[in-house]
């Protein structure tokens, strides 16, 4: 069911992209839209991890510098039957973590200094299991593709609105029977629809990573406690992680204030909902 939901959301995003391409330039517009997606996905596949690590200020860390992190990571990676990701530390006080990389063999996990200072061993284990779940489920690649398609939709819609204002472009079909009005409406609604689909996909993958992480460990209590602590501290300590990378984080960082709209249109589910789902989860400890 989870795989089906992911496939459905990605398919819906692609259909929106093709529709907006058709609205901008008919069949040629669809071709341009597909090229946008192909180029964007190529960049996302090979470079999104480097961009996320560099933009957040993450620095590689050795076993000698942070043996506690390596011990937890190596133990849980063995449980999950995954290669040990490259490990990074972000020099900031707000506790958080994220995983990135196109597949398990090219994965990286970054944690903040604040997270290492504030989490006890059980909580740290819960956070790392959550991030390894993203790696095992290829969530980083899926999210990068979704973000790329959504970005292409937004750019095409902007181009279409610009063309409409100055009287350029459009297909012949759009000039008949109110097609022009429909196309113009699509140019405004498509980016909003793409944003909703992208956020829905992101929230779904967070729930799935919570569940998979709890199953890797054999109990949800460390992750529950970690999420409670992360929520409390991230409401008080602003983060330097850029907003473009924040969707990868285990909890949404604080960027010096929020609004009702930022809460409604969030890439992360409400923490209380995630915690409630973990409390209801039945987990059998590995033998």
**Cβ neighbours for 264, distance < 8 A, ≥ 6 positions apart:** none
173-177, 188-192, 205-209, range with the lowest pLDDT: 173-177
Answer whether 130's CB lies under 8 Å from 210's CB: yes
Classify 283 as helix, strand or coil. coil
Active site residue 280: no
Place of tokens 């969030």: 266
Closest CA to 73 of 102, 113, 116: 116
Structure tokens at 226: 């970690």
Token code pair at residue 99: 């995983």
**What pLDDT, on a 0 to 100 scale, did the predictor assign at position 257?**
47
pLDDT higher at 207 or 19: 207
Q: Is 7 exposed, middle or buried (0-12, 13-18, 19+ CB in 10 A)?
A: exposed
Whole-structure pTM value: 0.78
* Average pLDDT along the chain: 80
Tokens of 278: 């973990």
Residue 189 main-chain phi, psi, to 5 deg? -85, -30
Structure tokens at 116: 């290492």
Q: Quote the CA–CA distance of 143 and 199 in Å, as a whole number.
A: 10
pLDDT of residue 198: 73
> Can you read off the two tokens belonging to residue 213?
């992480």
Give the per-residue pLDDT at 209: 95
Confidence band of 183 (pLDDT split at 50, 70, 90): low
Over residues 258-263, mean pLDDT: 48
CB 217 within 8 Å of CB 54:
no
CA 87/CA 76 separation, integer angstroms: 14
Burial 122-147 (b: 16+ CB within 10 A, else e): ebbbbbbbbbbbbbbbbbbbbbbbbb
Distance from the first to the final alpha carbon of the chain: 27
Q: Do the Cβ atoms of 116 and 94 come closer than 8 Å?
A: no
Query: Residue 128: CB partners within 8 Å, gap ≥ 6?
Result: 69, 72, 73, 76, 97, 109
pLDDT score for 102: 82
Tell me which of 43-47, 73-77, 159-163 is least confident.
159-163
Q: Which of 92, 125, 131, 206 is catalytic?
A: 131
Residue 232 DSSP SS3? helix
- Residue-wise pLDDT for 106-142, tens only, equals 999 999 999 999 999 999 999 999 999 999 988 877 7
> What is the DSSP pairing of strand 108-112 with strand 97-100?
antiparallel
Domain range list for the chain? 2-279
- ∠ Cα 142 105 112 (to 5°): 75
Q: Is 123 helix (H, G, I), strand (E, B) or coil?
A: helix
């Amino acid at each position: 069911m989870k795989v089906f939901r992911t496939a459905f959301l990605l398919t819906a995003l692609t259909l929106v992209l093709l529709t907006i391409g058709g609205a901008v330039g008919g069949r040629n517009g669809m071709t341009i839209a597909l090229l946008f997606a192909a180029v964007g996905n190529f960049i996302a596949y090979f470079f999104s991890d480097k961009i996320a690590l560099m933009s957040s200020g993450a620095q590689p860390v050795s076993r000698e510098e942070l043996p506690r992190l390596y011990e937890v990571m190596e133990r849980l990676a063995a449980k999950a039957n995954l290669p040990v990701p490259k490990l990074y530390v972000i020099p900031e006080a707000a506790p958080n973590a994220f995983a990135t990389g196109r597949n398990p063999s090219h994965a990286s996990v970054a944690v903040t200094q604040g997270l290492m200072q504030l989490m006890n061993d059980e909580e740290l284990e819960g956070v790392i299991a959550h991030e390894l779940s993203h790696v095992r489920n290829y969530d980083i690649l899926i999210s990068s593709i979704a973000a790329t398609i959504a970005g292409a939709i937004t750019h095409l819609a902007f181009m279409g609105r610009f063309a409409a204002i100055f009287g350029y472009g459009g297909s012949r079909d759009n000039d008949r029977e109110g097609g022009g009005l429909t196309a113009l409406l699509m140019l405004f609604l498509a980016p909003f629809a793409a944003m909703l689909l992208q956020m829905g996909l992101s929230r779904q993958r967070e729930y799935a990573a919570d569940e998979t992480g709890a199953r890797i460990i054999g109990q949800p209590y460390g992750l529950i406690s970690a999420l409670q602590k992360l929520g409390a501290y991230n409401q008080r300590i602003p983060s330097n992680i850029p907003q473009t990378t924040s969707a990868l984080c285990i909890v949404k960082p604080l960027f010096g204030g929020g609004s009702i709209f930022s809460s409604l249109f969030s890439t992360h589910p409400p923490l209380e909902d995630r915690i409630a789902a973990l409390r209801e989860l039945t987990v059998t400890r590995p033998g």
